[in-house]
Amino acid sequence: MTNSVSGQAEPYVYRHPTQVAGLTWKNPVGTASGTFKLDACGDFYDVAQLGAISTKGVSPVPWEGNPSPRTAESPSGMVNAVGLQNPGVDEYLVNELPRLKALGAFVITNVAGHCDDDYAQVVAQLADSPADMLEINISCPNVTHGGMSVGTDPKALYQLIARLRNMTSKPIIVKLTPNVTDITQVARAAVDGGADALSLINTLVGMRIDIRTGRPIIANVTGGVSGPAIRPIALACVWKVRQALPDIALIGIGGIDSAQAALEFLYAGANAVEVGAAALVDPVAPVRIARELDTLLDQRPELAQRLEKGQTWQH
């Protein structure tokens, strides 16, 4: 399955790596949290071809997630309210993380919680695990406590990240919500607390209504909007944070469905990108985009050289 995207006889060798919080990704493309299917993606492509895999949120105990229906289509995107369904950190450590590591890409474990103690418990259990990076999810709009309520309060966010920073030497990524007045304020709070990198953006709050019944389509009423419709918003957020924080590593997320879209984020100041909704439509999208981006970077040696050195595009 190594070459199912290209049909080539030999594994594809990327020419343009990037640096994210001290780790060298073989290319600037990873998968966004909640969109990588452990039991399916390996059937479509060699997962080791990715820069990194970000897992679904991992909580202290198993979460059932929100009731169905959980998803609805929207113009140029989708609305989802899965609610961070997961088997809990104990199950993740025993059964999922070893399988993810065996796939050969860097593993970013996404950490979820309802309160600060939840995040601390998961980070404590992951501190000595094989996970390569930890992504603190303080921006999910689909849980009633924790999640976005922390990510919109700079003081609370600083306190949480400072607490977690003291618990692990692993690189900490903080995933930011766009559902704030000024994303640079929460970005700075995360960095001041000890974040090594920021990933942005998580989904925007949205909803759909079934006009036959007059009722919301998804059971949670509101959900997170993703897909190409949010790309201009995501780009603006990456740009703003890059201007405010020139030295922090940034992972751009939001409606990336092509190499050209990924390139926009790199020119906005991102060190890397993650593919989310596009992979739910086309499972091979992350690898396809990574390979096409490799060719686009051939034609942009100044940008490629900056990424390889851990630098970003400067305007």
What residues form the annotated binding site for FMN?
33, 56-57, 110, 137, 175, 201, 227, 254-255
Binding-site sequence positions for substrate: 56, 80-84, 137, 202-203
d(CA 1, CA 7): 9
d(CA 79, CA 160): 28
d(CA 41, CA 64): 23
- DSSP state string for 86-101: B--HHHIIIIIHHHHH
Phi, psi of 166 (to 5 degrees): -80, -5
Binding-site sequence positions: 33, 56-57, 80-84, 110, 137, 175, 201-203, 227, 254-255
Is there a catalytic annotation at residue 237?
no
Phi, psi of 43 (to 5 degrees): -80, -15
Collapsing DSSP to helix, strand or coil, 137 comes out as strand
From the candidates 41, 115, 140, 237, give the one annotated as an active-site residue.
140
d(CA 33, CA 136): 11
> Which residues form the catalytic set?
140
